[in-house]
Structure 1
Amino acid sequence: MALDETRAISGTFGEVWREGNQMTQASEMQAKVKVHKADIKVSGDRWIGKKVVALEGTGSLKGFKVTSEMLQMHDPVAKNEKGYVKTELISKLDDPEAYGCERIRLKNVIFDEIPLVGWKVGEIVEEEWPFTFKGYELLDPIVES
């Protein structure tokens, strides 16, 4: 069966949701899970086996500076009350020509950096928020129909 090119998903229809609200300023998001393995050497075997010992979730969220929402969310950090803010993010990819919508929930998201100032005369201000997460859930998978 040949690929139907019209079904290739465009990032144009990507959305990010936090605390039930769409983050309309988001322009790019990525998240991945790194699998950490330990070598297992067995007597009488030249092959080195692998054992999964840990999982690590990392990602980043990029977007246009429209409001101070993200900075205000981290206000307790500035006041040294908690040291971090934990939240959940939902990525939604819903190209109308695709086989369906994909939604993935990232759990226990903690942002790694808090950008305070970053602008240049004549340029649109964009921000990047790198983060780590612990756990995810595929809410809506895309399946060929």
Structure 2
Amino acid sequence: MRDNYTPDRVINGTFGECWIDNDYMAETTALEATVKLDTTEVARTGTLEKGYKVTGITCSGTLKLNKVTSYMIKKIGDNLKKGKATRATIISNIEDPEAFGAERIRFDDVVFTEIKLADWEAGKLLEESIPFSFSGWEVLESIDV
């Protein structure tokens, strides 16, 4: 990392973009994806410290959208009625023009784990939060300085 970065180089989330199965999701307001390391405690002798071994990973995230269409209800609901999970590919891109570059990540084997059929309140703009799990990812473009 450069020791002389300036504040304008910090990435602004406003420039984030999202695609689901090649459909550009202009209504996306946030995308979060996390890989959590599953650990198992390992007993050790000669020390009071506990040891841990990584025994798996859990990949999950949440997609937030301004409610504009019924895209997600139809995409997930139509498959659920057939007894199938909806599997998809999500691509995240963040490319602030003042930053050092772009970061683009593809999430593979995405399974949407929840869909709200209705969630509204008078006087409020509608938003959807769709949790998902995934089983692989690839960094397609990274910010390297």
- TM-score range, shorter-chain basis? over 0.9
Identity %: 38
Structure 2 residue aligned with 1:54: 56
Instruction: Please give the secondary structure, in 2, of the residue aligned with 1:36.
Output: strand
The answer to whether the aligner puts 1:85 opposite 2:66 as a matched pair is no
Compute the TM-score of the two structures, normalised by the length of structure 2. Answer: 0.92
Instruction: Please give the secondary structure, in 1, of the residue aligned with 2:79.
Output: helix
Q: Distance in 2 between matches of 1:93 and 1:3?
A: 18
Q: Distance in 1 between matches of 2:103 and 2:88?
A: 20
Q: Distance in 2 between matches of 1:24 and 1:115?
A: 20
Structure 2 counterpart of 1:105, one-letter code: R
The answer to whether the aligner puts 1:63 opposite 2:71 as a matched pair is no
Compute the TM-score of the two structures, normalised by the length of structure 1. Answer: 0.92
- CA-based RMSD: 1.2
Q: Distance in 2 between matches of 1:121 and 1:58?
A: 31
The answer to whether the aligner puts 1:76 opposite 2:79 as a matched pair is yes
The answer to whether the aligner puts 1:94 opposite 2:95 as a matched pair is yes
Q: Distance in 2 between matches of 1:39 and 1:55?
A: 15
How many residues are matched? 142
Cα offsets for 1:45-93 (capped at 9, x unmatched): 333221100100111011111111111111120x2332x1111101100
Structure 2 residue aligned with 1:33: 35
